Amino acid sequence: MTTSQQVKQDEMQVVKDYVNEVYETVKKRNPNESEFHQAVKEIFDSLVPVFAKHPKYMDNGILERISEPERIITFRVPWVDDQGKVRVNRGFRVQFNSSIGPYKGGIRFHPSVNASIIKFLGFEQIFKNSLTGQPIGGGKGGSDFDPKGKSDGEIMRFTQSFMTELCKYIGPDIDVPAGDIGVGAREIGFMFGQYKRIRGGYEAGVLTGKGLEYGGSLTRTEATGYGTVYFVEEMLKDKGLSFEGSTVVISGSGNVAIYAIEKATQLGAKVVACSDSNGYIYDKDGINLETVKKLKEVERKRIQEYVKEHPQAEYYEGCSGIWSIPCDIALPCATQNEIDDVSAQILVTNGVKAVGEGANMPSTLEAIDVFLNNHILFGPAKAANAGGVAVSALEMAQNSMRLSWTFEEVDAKLHEIMTNIYRNSVKAAEEYGHPGNLVVGANIAGFIKVADAMMAQGII
């Protein structure tokens, strides 16, 4: 080794030690928050080459500041169920980073919600939102409320109670929530109504994912799923591949999965499986999307019911088995950590060519290593699922202008945004010495814009 190589290696070690030290502080300050630690670790590891090239980010404590939320709000959400019993849930809003725009991110209603889940989601949102190229900061919220099996009346009372507290902290130029798991058009409608009633004004831009009648944007419903497929299409194109004629497995059957199935099918793929939190269906003839939409969007039933209408299809209990179905393309669109290293290895052994993350953090760190080490095309969540929040920002723009664009206009903008995210991630990966690694590329591209904005605004 030459002297200059040795010096470079020593410098790199200094950076690695620094990043590790900040990571240990984050762990100590946020004990028992494994999902948050996981999201932080993934970003931090990617940023080592950035700090080596630009020590100014270390000098300005960007890492220390970016991993500490600007504000965390935790609150009681009391409500009365249909039996007249008083119930209490916990509400959260994490306002993580506002250096490039108002806090922006969804609300999740799911029994697994806790500070760790909301913080991991909020942290990821900072970089995802930056990648879209739009002026939106990072935030996330939610509650451990379980919407499963609740009546419309219970959902409305809970949601109104949730907004009665949340409304004190949000606004079109402050913090703009939207949907996530368990929060769709119905819940956004109830939240919007309650916000308007308390605040006494019509602030259309306070929430996104609204109904079309009251300020929503065309294509918002489809955006996350379509965007994921557009992103994967770009990855495939670069390798001379496409969705046409390929077999696809998509986990989940919520908003992201449904519209990923729709777009993949439109592009000529056969989607053979989807799932919910109880189990998955395998339909070798290709999933009938109308049935899934009816079951999930209209009747709010379990995916198991699919086989009643399509007896050639098979239903299996449990979620991880879906990854043992041989496929060319896998799109995890259900929830965090749904693919571990074992499932990743099975996908690889069965010949998967591309994986695109529609859900937030669906692959464990070990699973990501399996994909990258085997040179599988891998589209990380922050990049691949940014279409949802990107169209939310387009909804905010339309609300500000008091006009609405057509489906085709919004879809074309979404397509362009996803292509740009892909190109910027590829470019950053190359520039920082990790060609083809979109995890590193997306993390770096998302980070630099936020870091530069933080530097410009002083130590705050």
**Contact residues: ligand GLU, CB under 6 A:** 104-106, 178, 180, 208, 360, 388-389, 392
Measured distance CA(144)–CA(111) in Å, rounded: 4
CB 250 to ligand GLU: min, Å: 17
Q: Which is nearer to ligand GLU, 224 or 247 (CB)?
A: 224
For 175, the enclosing helix (H) or strand (E) is strand 175-178
CB 136 to ligand GLU: min, Å: 8
Place of tokens 């119905």: 186
CB 117 to ligand GLU: min, Å: 12
- Two tokens at 119? 């913080």
Q: Which are the catalytic amino acids?
A: 140
Burial of residue 295, with CB atoms counted within 10 A of its CB: 0-12 exposed, 13-18 middle, 19 or more buried: buried
Q: Which is nearer to ligand GLU, 156 or 170 (CB)?
A: 170
Q: Which is nearer to ligand GLU, 104 or 210 (CB)?
A: 104
Q: Which is nearer to ligand GLU, 131 or 261 (CB)?
A: 131
| Cα dihedral 79, 82, 84, 89 sign | negative
Q: Which is nearer to ligand GLU, 15 or 183 (CB)?
A: 183
CB 87 to ligand GLU: min, Å: 25
Residue nearest to ligand GLU (CB): 106
Measured distance CA(127)–CA(115) in Å, rounded: 19
Q: Which is nearer to ligand GLU, 291 or 360 (CB)?
A: 360
CB 61 to ligand GLU: min, Å: 27
Q: What is the DSSP string of 421-432?
A: HHHHHHHHHHHT
CB 389 to ligand GLU: min, Å: 4
Q: Are 255 and 261 in contact (CB under 8 A)?
A: no
Q: Residue 286's CB: how many other CB atoms inside 10 A?
A: 14
> Residue 247 pairs with which residues in a beta bridge?
270
Strand order in the sheet with 103-109: 71-80, 86-97, 137-143, 103-109, 175-178
Q: Are 38 and 361 in contact (CB under 8 A)?
A: yes
The one-character DSSP state at 404 is -
Measured distance CA(46)–CA(383) in Å, rounded: 14
Q: Which is nearer to ligand GLU, 102 or 441 (CB)?
A: 102
Beta-carbon contacts of 274 under 8 Å, excluding residues fewer than 6 positions away, are: 250, 251, 252, 253, 257, 261, 280, 281, 287, 292, 303
Measured distance CA(106)–CA(179) in Å, rounded: 5
CB 249 to ligand GLU: min, Å: 21
